Chains A and B, each alone.
Chain A
Amino acid sequence: MKKVVVPLGPYHPLFEEPEYFELYCDGELVVDVEWKAGYNHRGIEKISESKHWDQVTFLIERICGICSTSHPIAYCNAVEDLLKMDIPERAKYIRSIIGELERIHSHLLWAGLAGHFLGYNTVFMWAWKYREPILDIMEMITGNRNHYAMMKIGGVRRDIENEDIPIMKKILDELKPKLEMLTNAVLDDPVLAARLKGVGVLTKQNIKDYGALGPIARASGVDIDVRRDSPHAAYDLVEWDVVLCQEGDVFSKAVVRLGECFESIKIIEQCLDRLTKIKGEISFEVREIPPGEGIGHYEAPRGECFHYVRSDGTSRPFRHKIRAPSYANIPTFKASCVGQTISDVTIILAGVDPCYCCTERAITVYDASTKKKLFNGKDLILLSQEKTKKIKKQLGFKDV
């Protein structure tokens, strides 16, 4: 059987970020998928070890621009787990509000891009237009449209003023009918249903095999949500539901995401109501981080985001390990793309809402038999430079 390789990327107009896929095709059908990464790797875990505990929150915000408050919440949870401390009640509500606002804007962004990939540019324009008021709220309460810098070890950095709450509520009230219209228009459309239903199906077993997370798992009927399963912030203090679907195709992923937008609005409204009644501090002071280790999770819009920190008692993390949800979700392409036609693959790839900037890893190659680290080009140059230095030393030259 002759296979045709269709390369996608690394700089493809379809993708926002550099990423590279190889589709192995037999005629119209996709037989296998390969994924090559690393274009966007920036070495954040290593940079994190050179920053002060408080500076790390600003660094990990820049892991990903779309989940830019999920990572700080998970990191703060990890450090607070290390410290065995609790945060003020007001800070809990503020954390949940920011996290949920982010979820709405992320899911709307996804809905727009998915519409664009299907050739429904109207959906793209609508969804992104309705996303703007959320960014306005963000700008009003945090000072920036993205990268909010609200999280801090021991609480939050800025308070939400009581004067802002009625304006926020008004914007959310105005958003609701628009969101309903968008949801109904998308889910009732016969063409979209024909394109999305039964496409890229992931079974419950697939999800468990690949360890997929977030809306993808929930679209296949796997009932996981860190917000409910391991409560933090204000998620156990307000009422909300986990949106579940059973089919596992791209259509149910859309249903889950759009449904979660309404749940998020519900959470935000309850949090805002409570916030007016609670007075007090927004953060506890943290002076020193003792030696120890801690873990933290947060349900980012794409799935569970996991942070591990270890302290050796100094002002910097000794080790900071980050596991972003897309890293677990992207391998599911092996299960969902195979057997589909090339024209459906783009929407299956987009259905996962992959985010490559949080996922990229650097790879060091080890020899399997000797367990020896093989050198890459940069190492060889370094090695060569060191040899020159050695020879210079032997010959009695002063090191320049």
Chain B
Amino acid sequence: MALDLKTKALKKSLSVFHLSTGSCNNCDIEILDCLTPRFDIERFGMTLAGSIKHADVLLVTGIVTVKNLSRIKVLYQQMPKPGFVVAIGGCACTGGIFRDGYQMAGPLDRVIPVDVYIPGCPPKPEAMIAGIVKLLEKIK
């Protein structure tokens, strides 16, 4: 498959935006850990973007809570396309231990389409890097 210019540029430098929708903070600090010297995700050309409007990848952690439901849909609409969604952690993938709670509005894939799932509670930074590298392969 011939790559158009957009996708070609995309696979060399992904800008990721991190969104916590009702997580316990742990996946979030592990994502930040990926940026620090030991894991250093920047060697794959990835940087954290300050706004969803500048991002190619949306990293979502935590269950979708009732209060966040409409906001996530808006954020997804604002993301420039082609864009990819990564569900990080057991909560975003399935709902985890909170699936029976009254604030649960469903795991992420019932709200917006998800491209990559990274399960774990929390997934290790190595697992996150492996997941995102798989995303790069998917883009190719």
Q: A and B from one assembly?
A: yes
| A58-66, A199-207, A222-230, A274-282 - interface stretch | A58-66
**Per-position contact with B for A334-366: 1 when CB-CB < 8 Å, else 0?**
000000000000000000000101000010000
Whether B81 sits at the interface, judged by CB under 8 Å, is no
Given A16-B20, A132-B38, answer yes or no on A147-B122 (Cβ-Cβ < 8 Å): yes
Once the chains bind, are B24 and A16 in contact (CB under 8 Å)? no
Taking residues whose C-beta sits less than 8 angstroms from the other chain, chain A's interface range is 35 or more
The residue of chain B having its C-beta at the shortest distance from the C-beta of A65 within the complex is B26
Once the chains bind, are A357 and B25 in contact (CB under 8 Å)? yes
B69 shortest CB reach to chain A, Å: 11
Once the chains bind, are A47 and B36 in contact (CB under 8 Å)? no
Q: Which residues in B have their C-beta under 8 angstroms from that of A129? A: 36-38
Whether A313 sits at the interface, judged by CB under 8 Å, is no
Whether A41 sits at the interface, judged by CB under 8 Å, is yes
Q: Which residues in A have their C-beta under 8 angstroms from that of B26? A: 62, 65-66, 68, 146-147
B127 shortest CB reach to chain A, Å: 11
The residue of chain A having its C-beta at the shortest distance from the C-beta of B26 within the complex is A65
The count of chain B contact residues (Cβ–Cβ below 8 Å) is 42
Secondary structure of the B side of the interface? loop
Given A18-B20, A41-B67, A64-B24, answer yes or no on A59-B97 (Cβ-Cβ < 8 Å): yes
Once the chains bind, are B22 and A47 in contact (CB under 8 Å)? no
Partner of A65, one of B25, B66, B68, B104: B25
Whether A38 sits at the interface, judged by CB under 8 Å, is yes
The residue of chain B having its C-beta at the shortest distance from the C-beta of A113 within the complex is B32
Whether A170 sits at the interface, judged by CB under 8 Å, is no
B22 shortest CB reach to chain A, Å: 5
**Per-position contact with A for B27-51: 1 when CB-CB < 8 Å, else 0?**
1111011001110000000001111
The residue of chain B having its C-beta at the shortest distance from the C-beta of A13 within the complex is B50
Interface residues of B in 83-140 (CB under 8 A from A): 96-98, 100-104, 121-122, 124
Whether A3 sits at the interface, judged by CB under 8 Å, is no
A8 shortest CB reach to chain B, Å: 13
* A64 to B27 alpha-carbon distance, docked (Å): 11
Binding site for A on B (CB under 8 A): 18-30, 32-33, 36-38, 48-52, 62-63, 65-68, 71, 75, 96-98, 100-104, 121-122, 124
A65-B23, A109-B29, A146-B30 are known; give 15 further A-B pairs, CB within 8 A: A16-B18, A16-B32, A40-B62, A41-B65, A41-B67, A42-B103, A42-B104, A43-B98, A44-B101, A47-B100, A65-B27, A68-B26, A128-B37, A145-B122, A378-B66
